[in-house]
Amino acid sequence: MVSRKASDKDALSVRERLIDSADRLFYQEGFRAVGIDRVLAEAGAAKASLYAHFGSKDELMAACIERRALDARAQIQAYVENVEVGQRPLRLFDFLVDWVSQTSFRGCPVQHLVAEYPEAGHPARRSALSQRQWLHEQLATWCAAAPVQNPEQTARALVVLFDGALTAAEQDGPERAKDARWAAAQLLGANR
């Protein structure tokens, strides 16, 4: 029984090393550009470990996006938790400005994945879609508490602003996120 716990710990460690290495490489260089042999070398893992834990590069990509999405959700929740629910839509754009201002910012990994893998049935696209739905649901809830006249439509418009700001910030820097925050404030104020 003791040896089983040790091997479970080792297996988890290999799995986490694979996700850590893949995530870092995919974010820096792109999903298609990074081959599985490179991930395995970086993780210090055998090919059999990849297939035992994920089955394919596609499933490893899905695990990376899922972890990124869960981390982003936790960061967003922590960032907005100290303001009233109705203030959270605009606070999300403060989060965005802070995120794109980081020197490590290289764009949105979910947007990168969707651009590189347009096939709707790709395993990692399911995680990307889940993140998009979560963001919309949060904004719709927050907009309803704002209150705005049409919380659903306003939430959808804010998602578009958020996405656009991420894309623009990757090219032009944090000023585009500041512009999006301004536009979000106008939209929220006009819909009251």
The structural domains of the chain, with segments of one domain joined by +, span 1-55, 63-190
Q: pTM to 2 decimals?
A: 0.87
In the predicted model, what is the mean pLDDT of the chain?
Answer: 92
Rounded to an integer, the average pLDDT of 40-53 is 94
Q: What is the CATH number of domain 1-55?
A: 1.10.10
Tell me how crowded residue 133 is: count the other CB atoms within 10 A of its CB: 10
**CA proximity to 64, closest of 120, 132, 137, 56:** 56
The whole-number average pLDDT for the span 23-38 is 96
Q: Is the CB of residue 65 less than 8 Å from the CB of residue 118?
A: no
**What is the gyration radius of the CA atoms in the chain, in angstroms?**
19
Neighbours of 32 (CB within 10 A): 12
Q: Decide if pLDDT at 176 tops 60.
A: yes
Is the Cα torsion angle 155, 104, 28, 172 positive or negative in sign?
positive
What was the pLDDT predicted at 2? 37
CATH code, 63-190: 1.10.357.10
